[in-house]
């Protein structure tokens, strides 16, 4: 991430150098055109000098084509103040009389030199402080030596016969104040930009770290297989490492008791189970927010509305300054909360931190649902095995019963045969003998009546047994009852 921003910063500096180089070249050409127009009314050839010097501003552009960005930036920061001073001296040396030269000519160039101080602050980052100071020195030196240089070439303010009692005081004082004011403003602006970029780089590095951690958790065996206890400990370790907090803990919510209990606390690289209990009746505002499944973010936990209830009993004894809590779900209902705590110093919880902690809670909710699904799968598998066993036994029982019935049917068939042929024959013979005996004697008619009834009953029973077997396939007392 840092290398990426260095590359982007280099590209940006190259583009800025090229653009400023081209813009200054164009401005020099336009300035020469202005002096050319002026030369039609006044005797001056300064425009020729300006046009000759204009291509020099393309030097940084050329150097960038060869990858010499540091050198091109320094030269671009140096060219404008030096060339402005050179052109000023040449202009005054060509017309060293008060007819063409006036006091304004000693202030306008100073203004250009002061404005040239902006270029280094545009081209250099504040972290390049040494290069920035070195690049800003030419404009400061040109401004500080403005009068000495002009005096050296005999074109100083008083040397050309100009009169002003406070020239040195007003020119140098106000120029100096303006220069340092611009430098101060630009430095402060650059510092703010530097802080913003540094914070952006830091935030992006955090986001990258969080994304890498989430990808790793997404491939976690304990989370994907629903090993909840191991997943809880893994999530706490990842959270503490990424957040860099003093403590991180996991609390389970018990709706029947209206409280949360601490299952795990990870502190000083040690995982413990303190089982601390916090009741809703003691901390109503916190539990209201928790039941709404809100992220609870407290930079100053002691004074925050949602966490100040813990001040005396929990925060102050443990010297906890900042807190951030994220609830997690257990099969669609509030399961508990993951709590990050920073001791001894305040911590600025950003959007990236809150989203990452919420993601940890979501991972835990997912792992719990996986565990429940795995348990359901185990129950279904056991039930299926039980049903399979019952089906297998049922088939065996049916087969055994069928075999038994087949045997009974064979026996019934055999009995029917015995009843119809073997048993029926003696009954028929007894009946015949009875009829013979009846025809031969008429004595003892009562005894004969009993014998007749018995024979008739025996025949009736035999008939009913045969009929029961043929029609119902079974014999019972009801079927043969007389």
> For residues 436 and 154, which has the higher predicted lDDT (pLDDT)?
154
Please compute the mean of the pLDDT values over residues 317-329 and round it to a whole number. Answer: 94
Residue entry with tokens 């020195």:
137
List 337's β-bridge partners, or say none: 251, 327
List pLDDT tens digits, range 24-55.
Answer: 999 999 988 888 887 766 656 778 888 998 99
Average the pLDDT over 186-207 and give the result.
84
Domain ranges of the chain: 2-209, 222-375, 387-480
Binned at pLDDT 50, 70 and 90, residue 451 comes out as low
Please report the pLDDT score of residue 423 as a whole number. 56
Mean pLDDT confidence for 449-463: 67
Q: Tell me which residue has tokens 């809590």.
A: 325
Q: Give the pLDDT band of residue 80 (cuts 50, 70, 90).
A: very high
Query: Over the stretch 399-431, which tens digit does the pLDDT of each residue have?
Result: 777 777 777 666 566 666 655 555 556 666 666
pLDDT tens for residues 223-237? 999 899 999 999 999
In this predicted structure, what is the pLDDT of residue 380? 82
Residue 97 confidence (pLDDT): 56
Phi, psi at 97, each rounded to 5°: -145, 160
**Structure tokens that stand for 119 in this block:** 């270029």
Is a pLDDT exceeding 80 seen at residue 238? yes
Q: What pLDDT does 104 receive? A: 82
Beta bridge pairs of residue 261: 252, 277
- Report which of residues 401 and 63 the model is more confident about: 63
For all residues of the chain together, what is the average pLDDT? 84
- According to CATH, the topology of domain 222-375 is Beta-Lactamase (3.30.450)
Beta strands at 320-330 and 333-343: parallel, antiparallel or unpaired: antiparallel
**Separation of alpha carbons 396 and 401, rounded Å:** 8
Percentage of the chain exceeding pLDDT 90: 46
Using 50, 70 and 90 to split pLDDT, how confident is the model at 466? low
């Amino acid at each position: 991430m840092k290398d990426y921003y260095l590359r982007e910063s280099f590209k940006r500096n190259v583009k800025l150098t090229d653009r400023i180089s081209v813009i200054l070249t164009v401005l020099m050409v336009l300035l020469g055109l202005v002096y050319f127009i002026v030369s039609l009314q006044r005797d001056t050839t300064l425009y020729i000098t300006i046009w000759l010097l204009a291509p020099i501003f393309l030097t940084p552009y050329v150097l960038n084509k060869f990858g010499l960005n540091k050198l091109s930036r320094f030269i671009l920061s140096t060219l404008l103040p030096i060339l402005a001073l050179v052109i000023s001296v040449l202009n005054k040396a060509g017309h060293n009389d008060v007819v063409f030269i006036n006091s304004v000519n000693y202030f306008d160039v100073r203004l250009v030199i002061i404005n040239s101080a902006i270029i280094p602050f545009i081209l250099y980052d504040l972290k390049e402080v040494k290069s920035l100071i070195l690049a800003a020195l030419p404009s400061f030196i040109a401004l500080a030596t403005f009068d000495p240089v002009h005096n050296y070439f005999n074109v100083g303010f008083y040397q050309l016969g100009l009169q002003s009692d406070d020239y040195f005081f007003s020119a140098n004082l106000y120029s100096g104040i303006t220069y340092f004011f611009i430098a101060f403003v630009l430095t402060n602006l650059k510092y703010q930009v530097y802080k913003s970029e540094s914070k952006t780089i830091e935030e992006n590095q955090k986001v990258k770290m969080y994304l890498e951690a989430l990808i790793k958790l997404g491939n976690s065996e304990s989370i994907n297989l629903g090993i909840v206890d191991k997943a809880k400990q893994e999530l706490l370790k990842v959270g503490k490492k990424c957040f860099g907090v003093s403590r991180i803990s996991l609390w389970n919510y018990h709706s029947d008791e209206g409280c949360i209990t601490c299952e795990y606390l990870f502190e000083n690289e040690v995982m413990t189970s303190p089982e601390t209990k916090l009741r809703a009746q003691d901390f109503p505002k916190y539990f209201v927010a928790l039941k709404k499944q809100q992220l609870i973010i407290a930079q100053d936990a002691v004074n925050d509305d949602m966490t100040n209830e813990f001040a005396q009993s929990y925060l102050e004894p443990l010297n906890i300054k900042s807190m951030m809590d994220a609830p997690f779900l257990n099969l669609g209902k509030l399961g508990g909360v993951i709590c990050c705590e920073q001791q001894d110093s305040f911590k600025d919880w950003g959007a990236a931190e809150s989203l990452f902690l919420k993601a940890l809670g979501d991972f835990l909710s997912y792992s719990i649902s996986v565990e429940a699904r795995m348990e359901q799968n185990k129950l279904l598998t056991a039930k299926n095995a039980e049903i399979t066993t019952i089906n297998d036994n049922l088939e065996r029982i049916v087969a055994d019963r069928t075999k038994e019935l087949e045997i009974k049917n064979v026996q019934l068939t055999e009995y029917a045969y015995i009843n119809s042929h073997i048993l029926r024959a003696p009954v028929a013979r007894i009946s015949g003998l009875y009829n013979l005996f009846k025809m031969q004697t008429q004595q003892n008619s009562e005894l004969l009546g009993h014998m007749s009834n018995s024979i008739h009953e025996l025949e009736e029973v035999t008939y009913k047994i045969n009929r029961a077997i043929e029609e119902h396939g079974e014999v019972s007392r009801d079927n043969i009852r007389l």
